[in-house]
Structure formats: structure tokens, C-alpha cells
Amino acid sequence: MNVISGDELASVVTESVRQDMGRYFRQARNQYVGPWHIEELEQHRTSPGFEQEELVDCLQQLLADHDSPACHELMTRMCGQNVPFMIVAHELSHLRDLLIRLAAGDSNMNAVGAIMTFFDVLEDTLAKIYLAGFLGTLGHRNNVRLRHISALAEKNLLIHFEKHLDWLKQLTVAVSGRDRSAMPEAHHERCEFGKWLHGEGAKLMRDRSHYMHLVETHAAMHHVVDEIAGMVGLASDSLPLYALMKKAENYSLDLGNEISMLNSMVIMISYNKDPMTGALTRRSLERVMINQLEISRATETPFCLLMCDVDHFKQINDRHGHTVGDGAIVHFANALRNSLRQSDLMFRFGGDEFLLMLPSTGYQQGWEVAEKLRSAVAEHSLATGAGQLTLQASFGLLEVSGNKTSFIDSELVNNLIAECDQRLYLAKHRGRNQIA
């Protein structure tokens, strides 16, 4: 694949101007320091995937021989290393400005115009490489997500996200082929996911702010796709198409996160619960955990586990009796529930010990939730016949990513629970009333 065709080069660069540009490229090789490399020297950043002299040399080779593969190989490598195209464009802009200054210093206005046109054509053709690489990666990721969802023993609400991923797959194919007639349903209420969202989904979600966030995210993604549809048939809009497709995928991932949390709400409604605390029972833990691991793998988002219990609970039982002890467990469970999101899952693991599952939650957010829970338990005392009883609790926090595990089975579930329990033990060892 040629980065720039011979006809395109001939239309913007005459032979004499080409020779002048070659001279300016040779001068620029010793003078050019791109913006990324200046910041790299100042802040000790890692390399963006190329050396500045390599970029100049590739473009000079392209100027001399439009069949030169060097520039194409460089862009393909940077795309593969996830170097953002904005960095590439920024470097090209600074190099172009240096070449223009060199040509303007010679009052060579023909070369100035040719350099500007050359870089305009170059940016779009290099963006095509990035767009093709991104679409290939997106198509692969999408197929992996679909395979993971199809393998779910219980899809629940994930069946609707599966339909959305089919829609995204159709969009990717249409953009790859620049085929406007192959574009998926454009209206956000008429696609399969939209029909569910504005029908059964609206009845399912009692939290209207949560529901409206999901509706707005889905509508915003379709608005982006409307913009994409206007560009699909055009040959010279690779850069905006690349940016819009990345934006569409981000919205798609947001939808996956939201559906994952809603799916947990369905589980809370459907599964057996502990009659004393209203928490899910330990009997359903393995089944739900495996499902959450599969969802995490399908949506490529982590979740957190929190193991927690009441500090010095045995002393409460010994001092106040089992009736107060049972009341303390119920009080503790209510304090946890009142501070959790509607989508979070709470299991009574045994006695005063609870396991919390926080869908679509990374470690830092999980820590903030744990601190909120710890404070809530300590701030609300329990009324007993002997007066007010203040409880404290300890927490063990673990982030889990389904896509980092080779096998999802009972052994993995047991290992994760054991690791989370060890972190709770560490919090106890460090003095209790804290998170580890």
C-alpha cells in the first residue's frame, strides 16, 4: 500500500520544487526537535515509538519515492503501540512549520505552498493507516466480547448488550468498507438496544437519574454515529472518522458498565436472601461470582470485592447476649446497604461477616466505597437495653479483572474469596476499624 500515490505527489510537487523540498528536509534533520521529544527530555517520558530523525528520514524517502514503505511501516508500528494519533499530528505540524520557515527564509514561496499541500495530503493518508488499524482492533475486541457473552450461563440483561455489540459490529464493517448503505440503525430509539431501553428497561430502572444517564449516553453515541454516517462515503475524512469511532467505542464501553450494574440489580431481586439481614445467601455466591467474572471479561471492566465484619463481635455477644448480637448484625447490614449503590451485591458470608461485590469498579473507587462504609458503621450507634452501642468494622479490598484470568471456575472463586479474606485479616492485624 502506497502512503501517497504518484498522482497525488505529482499534483502537489513539481520536480524542481521536489528537489528544493529535499534540501529543506536535509537541513531540517539536524535542526528539528519535535514537541514530544522536548517534553520527554524535560519530564523523562518514555519514547512515543519513534525517533525524531526517523520521522524526517521516512518523509524524505516518501518525497523521493512514493513507493517507499518506510513511512507506512512507521505509522503501522506506532498504531500497534497505541501511540495516539494526536502525537503524530503534533509532530507533523512542528516539522511542517520548520520546513516552511526554511523555505520562507529563501523566499521560495512555491516550496512553501507545496510543503503545506504535501503535509495536508500526508496527514489524511497517515490517518487512514491509524483508522484501519483501530477498526481492525475494534472488530477483534468486539468479537471477543460477543464470544464471552454468548458463553454466559445466565445472560440476564447482558442479552441486550449483546444486541448492542452486534450493532457496533455492523458499524465497524460499514466504516471499514466506507459503505454508507451498510450503516446500522441510526435512531437511538429504533435500534434493538434502544427498543429495550425505552420499553422494558424503563420499567426496570426505578432510579430515574440512573435511567436518564443511560438514555443520554446511548443517545449521545447515536449522535456521534450520525456524524460518522455523513463522512463514510468521503475519501478524505480519515482523521475525523478515526476520532469519532474512538468516541463511539467509549460510549459503548460506558453502556457496558451501566448494563453490568443493572444486571446486578436483577440478581439482587431474583436470588435467595438471608431472612435476618436481607443479604444474598452464601449458597448463591459461587454462581453469582462466576457470572460477574464472565461479565467483567465481556465488558473489559474490573469489579471489586470487599470482605468485612464487625470488630470485636465476640465481645459484644459475650457482654450483651446473642439477642443484641443479632441486632448488631442487622444494624451492620443496614449500615452497609444504605451506603451501597443499588447495583452493588451484598452476601452474608457467615455470622457477622459479609462479602460485598461492586460491579464496574476499580481499586481507587472501591477504596472510597469502603471508607464510606467504614464511616457509616462508626457514625450510627445501635440502641440496646443497656444504652447506645457503637460498632466499628474492618474491610479487605480486592480488585478483580475477568480478562486477566485463564479459567473461570469454582477454584478461582475460592481463591479470590480467600485472598479477600486475607486482606480483611490484615486490616484486623493492623488495629481494626480500617481498610487493607
Together in a domain, 251 and 285? no
- Supply the range of the domain harboring residue 226: 152-265
Q: Please check whether residues 112 and 84 belong to one and the same domain.
A: yes
In sequence order, which residues have a C-beta less than 8 Å from that of residue 235 and are 6 or more positions away?
A: 178
Same domain membership, residue 397 and residue 295? yes
| CB-CB contact of 287 with 176 (8 Å) | no
Same domain, 75 and 212: no
pLDDT along the chain (436 residues), means of 10: 53 75 84 56 47 77 77 81 80 87 92 87 84 91 88 81 94 93 94 94 81 93 93 80 92 88 74 86 89 87 95 91 92 94 90 94 96 93 84 96 85 95 96 96
Give the model's pLDDT for residue 232: 87
Picking from 265, 284, 299, the residue at the C-terminal end of a domain is 265
Last residue of a domain, one of 237, 265, 293: 265
Q: What is the pLDDT of residue 257?
A: 85
- 304 and 418 in a single domain? The answer is yes
- Whether 404 and 382 share a structural domain: yes
Q: Are residues 418 and 343 in the same domain?
A: yes
Cβ atoms of 402 and 304 within 8 Å: the answer is no
Say if 255 falls within a structural domain: yes
Whether residues 159 and 225 share a domain: the answer is yes
246 and 162 in one domain? yes
pLDDT of residue 270: 67
Q: Please say which residue of 80, 100, 132 terminates a domain.
A: 132
The overall pTM is greater than 0.95: no
Residues in the chain: 436
Instruction: Say if 241 falls within a structural domain.
Output: yes
Q: How far apart are CA 78 and CA 84, in angstroms?
A: 8
Q: Is residue 219 part of a domain?
A: yes
Q: Mark whether 221 and 307 lie in a shared domain.
A: no
The domain total for the chain is: 3
Residue 395, domain member (yes or no): yes
One domain for residues 62 and 43: yes
Q: Are 148 and 286 in contact (CB under 8 A)?
A: no
Q: Is 144 within a domain?
A: no
Same domain, 281 and 322: yes
CA distance 291 to 157: 12
CATH number at residue 411: 3.30.70.270
- Domain membership flag for residue 82: yes
Query: Is 138 within the bounds of a domain?
Result: no
The answer to whether position 137 is within a domain reads no
Q: Residue 62: what pLDDT?
A: 79
Q: For residue 7, what pLDDT is reported? A: 54
Spatial distance between the Cα atoms of 314 and 365, rounded to a whole number of angstroms: 31
